[in-house]
Chain A
Amino acid sequence: MAKLNVNPTRMELSNLKDRLSLASRGHKLLKDKQDELMRRFITLIRQNNELRIEVEDKLEKAMQSFAMAKSLLHENFIEELMAVPSQSVNLNIDQKNIMSVRVPQMHFQYNENADDLEDLSYGYLNSNGELDLTFQYLIEVMPDMLQLAEIEKTCQLMADEIEKTRRRVNALEFMTIPQLEETIYFIQMKLDEAERASITRLMKVKDMG
């Protein structure tokens, strides 16, 4: 490891010692941050993976059923049915702070007991059973979909932050701290050597007299 390009003086030595203690403290803190972030990330990402597989399955089923329903009806009827949504979802986003990563916390407000299809406000005419089925699927999958949005975004943001933190930790651990240590060692040796040289010189001068 290359040592820093500094003059071997006492002043520089004390500066470097300060920097070393700061760097070690920073390294310790960042390492702790990384460990905690990682711990949370791993539980979250597992959840994310499971949820995503589940949501994809369900959505696919719903969409296929919708494509079927749509093929049996005229385009305009479908448009008409969809013109007025029977449900509404409200979304409020708060910021949550996980180890100084700002992640969104989403609060959804929707009709909780929408599982029964009574609320579907379209007529029997111009609609069909497949359409009912589609909405049943969709309503089932909606809470999971919304949860997936929150978890996946959180995971994304955390992954970015973990990567950044890891770079910092590594830079401190493998670059900054070894460099400082080596330079401090070099200056100390240099100063010791200078001291010995001056003592020897003094002794020589005394001998001459």
Chain B
Amino acid sequence: MPNNIGVVGDRESVLAFRMLGFDVHFATEAKEARRIIDKLAEKNYGVVYLTEQLAELIPETIRRYDAKMTPAVILIPNHAGSRGIGKKRVQENVEKAVGQNIL
């Protein structure tokens, strides 16, 4: 089964990824983003890069895929800069596993 790499985000930020051969989808609203991610997950995508701006709108959808092996939903900043959500998620993982933040 082929596993593809998808990118979801606003047009300004993610269009460039098309050049790398990633599968780029545009979304600006929560509903749209949710629909695209669900569709990608169904289609056996291995990795989905999602901009933090959208991730902020749909935390419950992301959490749903956290426990599954695929797809790996990975947050990336967009052109306006990072909002620290991706880093926060790493820290949350540490706190969940270790009990306190050791980083």
B93 within 8 A of A: yes
Interface residues of A in 68-122 (CB under 8 A from B): 70, 78, 81-82, 85-93, 95, 102-104, 106, 110, 120
A48 within 8 A of B: yes
A59–B82 alpha-carbon span in the complex (Å): 9
Interface majority SS (helix, strand, loop, mixed), chain B? mixed
A53, A103, A157: which contacts B87 (Cβ < 8 A)?
A53
A142–B5 alpha-carbon span in the complex (Å): 12
A60, A82, A89, A95: which contacts B82 (Cβ < 8 A)?
A60
Given contacts A49-B103, A93-B70, contact A87 B20 (CB under 8 A): yes
Number of A-B contacts (CB under 8 A): 138
1/0 contact string of A137-153 vs chain B (CB within 8 Å): 01100100110111011
Asked if residues B77 and A135 are in contact (CB atoms below 8 Å), the reply is no
Chain A positions within 8 Å of B20 at CB level: 85, 87, 89, 138-139, 142
A181 within 8 A of B: no
Q: How many residues of B contact A (CB 8 A)?
A: 39
Asked if residues B79 and A56 are in contact (CB atoms below 8 Å), the reply is no
A60, A92, A160: which contacts B3 (Cβ < 8 A)?
A92
Asked if residues A63 and B16 are in contact (CB atoms below 8 Å), the reply is yes
B13, B19, B96: which contacts A159 (Cβ < 8 A)?
B96
Q: How many residues of A contact B (CB 8 A)?
A: 58
1/0 contact string of A18-56 vs chain B (CB within 8 Å): 000000000000000000001001100110110011011
Residues of A at under 8 Å CB distance from B? 38, 41-42, 45-46, 48-49, 52-53, 55-56, 59-60, 62-64, 66-67, 70, 78, 81-82, 85-93, 95, 102-104, 106, 110, 120, 134-135, 138-139, 142, 145-146, 148-150, 152-153, 155-160, 162-163
Residues of B at under 8 Å CB distance from A? 2-5, 12-13, 15-22, 46-47, 49, 66-67, 69-70, 72, 74, 76-79, 81-82, 86-87, 90, 93-94, 96-98, 102-103
